[in-house]
Amino acid sequence: MNKQTMHSLDDFERNKQPLVSGRLTSQWKAISFLTIFLSVFGLIQTTILLVSGMKTSELTGAMGFAYGKNRFLSALSENSFILTALIVLASVALLYVFYSKLRFSLLIQKSIRDDNQETFEDAWKNLRNSFRVFGIYIISAITLYMIFFGLLLLGSSPEF
Amino acid sequence: MTDNSFDRIPLTVTDEVRKYWREISHWALFFAILLFIAASFTGLFTLSFVTGRDRLPAVLTGILITSLSFLPGFLYFRFYSLMKAYLREENEEDLEKAFASLKWFYIFSAVATIFIIIFWILVLNPGQSEMEYE
């Protein structure tokens, strides 16, 4: 089957699918303008988090002071690279979330402007990636908080 | 010179797009549940401050804060349920309503972000801190 026939078949298959209405495209345009603003703000905020993540040894020192003598916190302040690595990892994940959202915004606008089906599908793929990575990030953050809290309690108990 | 406008194909909702929307809506449900839990905690936290004689202003503030924290979760949940209905019945009205909910969620987020920026400007106001040091 040559390329021209395959292209025609693709068009035929697509013609059976529902078309996108003007009201939907205007809503997507509004969403894209809002997500551009939110993702740019998110990218700036995450960069600040990444820079501040380099100063974690001071943070663990302050936590140790706040909680008194805790074996877990003193062990963490001695190995502060673990916390630094976690913050860097979280920042990279968040940067990807906001980057995907920004790409979605730009691609959905481009696809509406050019009526480009490939760009349209790519845009939704980027929004899906943004949701997926943010969801995994939230699950990991909750799990880590629970582990951290458990170790904090164990570190302060005299039997441990 | 060729005219490309004749070759243009209008955007269509393909199976690939539907697959992405399905996954997005499932994640939206997950975030909605988390936001509902967070809103409940906020409600309980604000209620714990309702003590003393003048309870009405505290109760009203508590209701306002709880409803504000409940709203994003509700919008995400509405997006999920309407998207689910669209994927089942292919009714375009459901799809429009679903994206309207998502749009309102982003409007809420943008307004909240603007408030955060204003808060930062007020807290980190260099002119004010110089005056305090003087």
pLDDT tens by residue, B7-46: 555 889 999 999 999 999 999 999 999 999 999 988 888 7
Tokens of A73: 């916190």
Q: Find the residue in A nearest to B96 (Cα).
A: A24
Residues 36-75 of B with CB under 8 A from A: none
In a domain, A101, yes or no: yes
Q: Given 3-state DSSP classes, what are the helix, strand and coil percentages for chain A, each rounded to the nearest 5?
A: 90, 0, 10
Question: What residues contact residue A74 under an 8 Å CB cut-off, 6+ apart?
Answer: A64
The one-letter code for the residue type at B61 is: T
ipTM above 0.90, yes or no: no
Break chain B into its structural domains and give their ranges: 14-133
CA distance A13 to A8: 9
* A137 contacts A90 by C-beta, under 8 angstroms: yes
CA distance A35 to A59: 32
Among partner residues A23, A28, A132, which is closest to B27 by beta-carbon distance?
A: A132
- Give the global pTM: 0.82
Q: pLDDT truncated to tens, each residue of chain A (160 aa)? A: 555 555 555 555 555 677 788 888 999 999 999 999 999 999 999 998 888 776 665 666 666 666 566 777 777 777 777 878 888 899 999 999 999 999 999 999 999 999 899 999 999 999 999 999 999 999 999 999 999 888 878 777 665 5
Please count the structural domains in chain A: 1
Residue A85's domain comprises 26-156
In a domain, A73, yes or no: yes
Does the distance separating the beta carbons of B106 and A35 come in below 8 Å?
A: yes
CA distance A35 to A97: 12
User: Which of B4, B9, B12, B90 should we substitute to test contact with A (largest number of A Cβ atoms within 10 Å)?
Assistant: B12
